[in-house]
Amino acid sequence: MRRTSRPHSLTAAPPRPGNLPHELNRFVGRSAELAAFDCALSATRLVTVTGSGGVGKSRLVAHALARTAADAAPADGVWRVELAPVRREELVEHAVVEALGLTDHTPRPPRQVLVDHLAERRLLLVVDGFEHLVDACAALLRDLLRAAPGLRVVAVGRRPLALEGERLFPLAPLTAADAVELFADRAAALLPGFDLDDGCRDDVLEVCRRLDCLPLSVELAAGRLRALSPRRLLERLDDRFRLLTGGGRDALPRHQTLRTTIGWSHELCTPAERLLWARLSVFCGPFDLEAAEYVCSGEDLPADTVLDTLDELLAQSVVAREETPAGVRYRMLDTVRAYGAEWLAGIGDQGRMQSRHRDWYLGMATWCELEWFSPRQSAVAARVEAELPNLRAALEFCLTEPGQTHLGQYLAGTLWFYWSGCGRLSEGRHWLDRSIALDRGDADGDEEAGHGEAGGQGEHGGARLKALWVLGYVAILQGDTVPALAALQECHDAAERGGDATALAYAVHRTGCLALVTDDLPRAERLLRDALVRYREIGELNSNVLMGQVELAMTVAFRGDLAQAAALCEDVRQVCEDHGERWTLAYALYVLAYADWAEGRLARARALLERCLAIDHEFHDLLGTVLAVELLALVTVAEGDAAEAAVLQGAAARIWPSVGLPLFGSAHYNAPHALCEAKAREALGDARFEELTRAGERLGHDEAVSRALRNANPPPPRPRAVGRRRAETQVVLHPLSAEGDPGTGGQRA
């Protein structure tokens, strides 16, 4: 029997199981979230579902509880109170009373009415849209939960209530697959016969991705199909706030357009929170606290207040917090970021914020280049990977703003270790080509006069020279020899005219490397030895210098002097171990393994190559990886397993197109490959060899590495796009401005 309290003064509305609204269209996706929500609700009496505007918090809760109501609803029902229309804190209690259908004619305050009514009931209360009334709502729910042991509460809002016993349930956007399904479902309701298979699936996927897979944004976008095709819709998304308007007549006012949805959160922010929101929009992708403090602080927002202000934006789901293997990072959804960017432009502060953002990432890149030659090499690689979206934004700013080309050249050149060592040759080539091309016309004119940046004597000539030798290096690794030679020759001539010994040493070194991969071994040896002498004279010691010694070792090995090659690489190995350097070490191990294979020491060669491959795989160094796999195939066929050697050659063939010209088109680099193929074909026959090679080509990258390591568990590749720990955030800011000269040098011992 249903129990009531104080029947003499309180009458309830006619008995009913609750007031949850019925769903009018199909609920899409979220199966994992629904299961997790059910578990959370069964484990605690207060669950607060948080998330950004439009992420689908209310709909998920309504759907989850509708299922509960159909199966095992609380005895006294599931009741929902919508607080968005309530503007004053003292009216919160009245809104709950009204939602429960209660009337009371006594002088008791409404809170007491609620306590008395709920005291002995088993009831689930949904409080939706409380974020603008959080203090009053939290105080009321605390009292009700204490007084009514049979009460459970689901709070739905953009921030926590911060109550004891509260279990947070942060809701993320949809997966891409669920977002596409939602778009298709709403589009089909609007346009009968709409089908994703009509050649528009890719456009719809990109629309959903550009809208952060926010359910509200996706539904509003689908509503535009009355007038626009998916392709036209995609083209107009740059002005998403103007495009995505409408929504159903029964939608809450704050949900009828994307702008008002985000604006609802903006209205709830203090002036300091709004200012930080606007300034944070300058970041692309994840950022850390130190970056936010540097970039966003000022007289109107002191650095020591940024943390507390950021914490409030986190609480309101404007900013999301991410736990990564390397520590905590923050990000804003693109839609939220775009809203902040409009405000930043409106207050006229966009250029200054972009300049501060650029300075931070120039300083970070400088620090990372220095730290690359250290035991922190893996952490540096992971950090640059995590910061890549922001580094791209800084590069783009430098290369599009007048007077900043030299800063773009410096930044693109400073990241040489990332382009060459972490599988980003193509992207590095893009930025380097752009930065050099921007002032090439001016530089050519200056060359004729014998002065200016091209001569290395201009105010910012050092940045250009650094970009030139790095461009040459990246082009060499891609097997693109003509542009490589042009860049290195330009760097050499300009550095020689300007007396820049550092840039000249790098130009000589990389020209020697080019001679090596184009089979001009005598010239390669002469230039590489010359470069190493120059490095010693200027006191240069870093991964580049050690790589020059490895390249010299490979040159003399190809010329038949395996003993000298091994001695050179043993010296490199010792220096690497002394300094904690591992990237160059992998290449030294490769040369040592080559020498051991040539001398018939197969077990030792395999052990060296397995260590080499593990390091290359960790750094995502595709060139090092594919060279190691090629040589492992040769060792494998020498060990008598021709079938496995054929599989490994196939795996290498699949990787090469992601690097550049296979084996640089070099007869010397190709010799082990050709020998392996000849031996394997002889043992297997052409048909079987081709069959096994095709099997190798079907292996994914990680599978190929695992196979090369004899199906052992290879060390996992360094996670892409991760953050870093607080202990690793002591960034030495490079004191750069648009007027500064970043220079050219590498790391010096």
Give the pLDDT confidence of 622-642 residue by residue, as tens digits.
899 999 999 999 999 999 999
Long-range pairs for 226-230 at CB < 8 Å and ≥24 separation? 226/190, 226/191, 229/200, 229/203, 230/200, 230/203, 230/204
The DSSP H or E segment spanning 498 is helix 481-498
The fold for domain 10-170 equals Rossmann fold (3.40.50)
pLDDT recorded at residue 715 = 61
Q: How far apart are CA 387 and CA 290, in angstroms?
A: 13
Question: 579 vs 373, 566, 589, 732, CA distance in Å?
Answer: 7, 20, 16, 20
Which one is predicted more confidently, 583 or 91? 583
pLDDT recorded at residue 185 = 86
pLDDT recorded at residue 264 = 58
Please report, rounded to a whole number, the percentage of residues in the chain having pLDDT higher than 70.
Answer: 84
Q: How far apart are CA 8 and CA 6, in angstroms?
A: 5
pLDDT band at 713 (very low <50, low <70, confident <90, very high): low
All residues at 6 or more sequence positions from 28 whose CB lies less than 8 Å from its CB, including other chains: 174, 178, 181, 182, 185
Q: Taking all residues of the chain, what is their mean pLDDT, rounded to a whole number?
A: 83
Contact present, 354 and 397 (Cβ < 8 Å): yes
Q: Which of 73, 67, 78, 69 is nearest to 100 (CA)?
A: 78
pLDDT recorded at residue 244 = 56
* Residues belonging to the chain: 749
pLDDT band at 714 (very low <50, low <70, confident <90, very high): low
pLDDT recorded at residue 47 = 95
pLDDT recorded at residue 245 = 54
Counts for the chain of helices (H) and strands (E), in that order = 34, 9
pLDDT at 444 over 80: no
Q: How far apart are CA 136 and CA 486, in angstroms?
A: 70
Q: How far apart are CA 746 and CA 749, in angstroms?
A: 10
Contact present, 452 and 442 (Cβ < 8 Å): yes
CA 62 to chain centre: 33
Q: How far apart are CA 648 and CA 642, in angstroms?
A: 10
pLDDT recorded at residue 89 = 87
Please report, rounded to a whole number, the percentage of residues in the chain having pLDDT higher than 90.
Answer: 50
Q: How far apart are CA 542 and CA 536, in angstroms?
A: 11
Q: How far apart are CA 499 and CA 708, in angstroms?
A: 47
Contact present, 270 and 301 (Cβ < 8 Å): no
Judged by average pLDDT, the poorest of 94-98, 479-483, 616-620, 686-690 is: 94-98
Question: 64 vs 31, 59, 60, 69, 214, CA distance in Å?
Answer: 10, 8, 6, 9, 19
Q: How far apart are CA 546 and CA 544, in angstroms?
A: 5
pLDDT band at 380 (very low <50, low <70, confident <90, very high): very high
All residues at 6 or more sequence positions from 126 whose CB lies less than 8 Å from its CB, including other chains: 20, 61, 62, 65, 78, 79, 80, 81, 153, 154, 155, 156
pLDDT recorded at residue 285 = 80
Both tokens assigned to 316? 């309101």
The DSSP H or E segment spanning 82 is strand 78-82
Which one is predicted more confidently, 401 or 727? 401
Partners of 169 in beta bridges:
49
Contact present, 440 and 486 (Cβ < 8 Å): no
Judged by average pLDDT, the poorest of 551-565, 652-666, 672-686 is: 652-666
Q: How far apart are CA 600 and CA 322, in angstroms?
A: 51
pLDDT recorded at residue 105 = 63
Helices (DSSP H) in 119-200: which residue ranges?
Answer: 134-147, 176-190
Both tokens assigned to 386? 């995590």
pLDDT at 93 over 60: yes
pLDDT at 318 over 60: yes
Q: For 243-282, write each residue's pLDDT tens digit.
A: 555 544 444 444 445 666 677 567 778 899 999 999 999 9
pLDDT at 442 over 60: no
Contact present, 699 and 654 (Cβ < 8 Å): yes
pLDDT at 722 over 50: no
Mean pLDDT (whole number) for 443-450: 42
pLDDT at 1 over 90: no
Out of 252-256, 383-387, 692-696, the most confident range is 692-696
Question: 547 vs 368, 417, 494, 536, CA distance in Å?
Answer: 18, 12, 24, 14
pLDDT band at 212 (very low <50, low <70, confident <90, very high): confident
Judged by average pLDDT, the poorest of 425-429, 489-493, 597-601 is: 425-429
Q: Which of 699, 703, 702, 696 is nearest to 718 (CA)?
A: 702
pLDDT at 456 over 50: no
What does pTM read for this prediction? 0.71
pLDDT recorded at residue 724 = 32
pLDDT band at 98 (very low <50, low <70, confident <90, very high): confident
CA 138 to chain centre: 36
Contact present, 280 and 287 (Cβ < 8 Å): yes
Mean pLDDT (whole number) for 129-133: 86
Residue ranges covered by each domain of the chain: 10-170, 176-260
Mean pLDDT (whole number) for 70-88: 79
pLDDT at 39 over 80: yes
pLDDT at 725 over 70: no
The DSSP H or E segment spanning 268 is none
Q: For 326-365, write each residue's pLDDT tens digit.
A: 568 898 877 778 888 888 988 999 999 999 999 999 999 9
Query: To which residue do tokens 């007084």 refer?
Result: 147
Phi, psi of 287 (to 5 degrees): -145, 160
pLDDT at 58 over 50: yes
Which one is predicted more confidently, 292 or 198? 292
Rounded to 5, what percent of the chain is helix, strand, coil?
Answer: 65, 5, 30
Angle at 80 between CA 76 and CA 85, to 5 degrees: 150
pLDDT recorded at residue 626 = 93
pLDDT recorded at residue 693 = 95
**374: phi > 0 → left, psi -120 to 50 → alpha, else beta; which?**
beta
Q: How far apart are CA 112 and CA 237, in angstroms?
A: 51
pLDDT recorded at residue 711 = 62
Using a 10 angstrom Cβ sphere, with 0-12 exposed, 13-18 middle and 19 or more buried, the burial of residue 264 is buried
